[in-house]
């Protein structure tokens, strides 16, 4: 049974330019806001190459403009440039280490580049900042499954389900943990629950392995 990588979600940090009359006094910061806004619009239209170009221009005008780094990281991740995304998220963290969602972003890119230990570390940091977000526990459990740390994964996935009892992806990922531990009955129960909640990835596996 395969892990569901689409359990991972990206966050875009919105630019406030155009939504407020309080424009920055620094003309370079103003131009960074302008290009960051253009980049965000391009990213929404799935023009990630164009978005990256605009975010890079924003950073050129104002190198400490944190939003441009996280948004450029999102676009790089969308283009599967995970190392580039990690670099941008890391720069954002240098500028604003307490924005929790950037750790989810960086964890996603680390997971997708098969740095599972690094992903676990980032999801753990997110949980320290926001301990009630089910997706972080699910993602950390998913990465622990990839490390074959199935007992630890189950702890995280139990917590994800506790926070969101209808969290289909967490049931699916927990079925992977239980299968890894040889608990076929438990794996089948979780896989069937995931299917009932709308996850169809396990249908063939259930048909072959479960009564």
More confident call, 91 vs 20: 91
pLDDT band at 45 (very low <50, low <70, confident <90, very high): very high
pLDDT band at 114 (very low <50, low <70, confident <90, very high): very high
More confident call, 120 vs 20: 120
Which structural domains are found in the chain, ordered by start? 13-81 (1.25.40)
Q: Tokens standing for 184?
A: 């076929």
Question: In the prediction, which pLDDT does 14 show?
Answer: 45
Cα–Cα distances (Å) from 90 to 24, 50, 59, 122, in that order, read 25, 22, 15, 11
pLDDT digits (tens, 9 = 90+) for 156-204: 999 999 999 999 999 999 999 999 999 999 999 999 999 999 998 889 8
CA distance 4 to 28: 42
More confident call, 18 vs 80: 80
DSSP 8-state code for residue 45: T
Q: Is residue 11 pLDDT above 90, yes or no?
A: no
Residue % of the chain over a pLDDT of 70: 89
Question: In the prediction, which pLDDT does 162 show?
Answer: 98
Average pLDDT, the chain: 89
Q: Is residue 6 pLDDT above 60, yes or no?
A: no
To the nearest 10°, the Cα dihedral for 65, 92, 51, 5? Answer: -160
Q: Is residue 7 pLDDT above 70, yes or no?
A: no
Q: Is residue 110 pLDDT above 90, yes or no?
A: yes
């Amino acid at each position: 049974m395969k892990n569901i990588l689409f359990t991972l979600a990206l966050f875009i940090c919105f630019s406030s330019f155009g939504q407020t009359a309080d424009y920055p006094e620094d003309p370079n910061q103003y131009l960074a806001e302008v290009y960051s806004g253009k980049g965000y619009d391009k990213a929404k239209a799935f023009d990630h190459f164009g978005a990256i170009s605009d975010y890079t221009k924003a950073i050129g005008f104002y190198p400490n403009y944190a939003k441009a780094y996280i948004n450029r990281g999102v676009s790089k991740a969308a283009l599967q440039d995970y190392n580039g995304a990690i670099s941008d998220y890391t720069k954002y963290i240098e500028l604003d280490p307490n924005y929790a969602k950037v750790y989810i972003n960086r964890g996603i890119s680390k997971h997708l580049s098969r740095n599972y230990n690094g992903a676990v570390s980032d999801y753990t940091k997110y949980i320290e900042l926001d301990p009630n977000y089910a997706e972080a526990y699910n993602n950390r459990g998913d990465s622990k499954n990839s490390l074959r740390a199935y007992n630890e994964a189950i702890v995280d996935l139990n917590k994800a389900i506790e926070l969101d009892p209808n969290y289909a992806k967490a049931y699916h990922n927990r079925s992977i943990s239980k299968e890894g531990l040889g608990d076929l009955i438990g794996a089948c129960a979780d896989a069937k629950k995931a299917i009932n909640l709308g996850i169809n990835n396990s249908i063939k596996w259930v048909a072959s392995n479960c009564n």
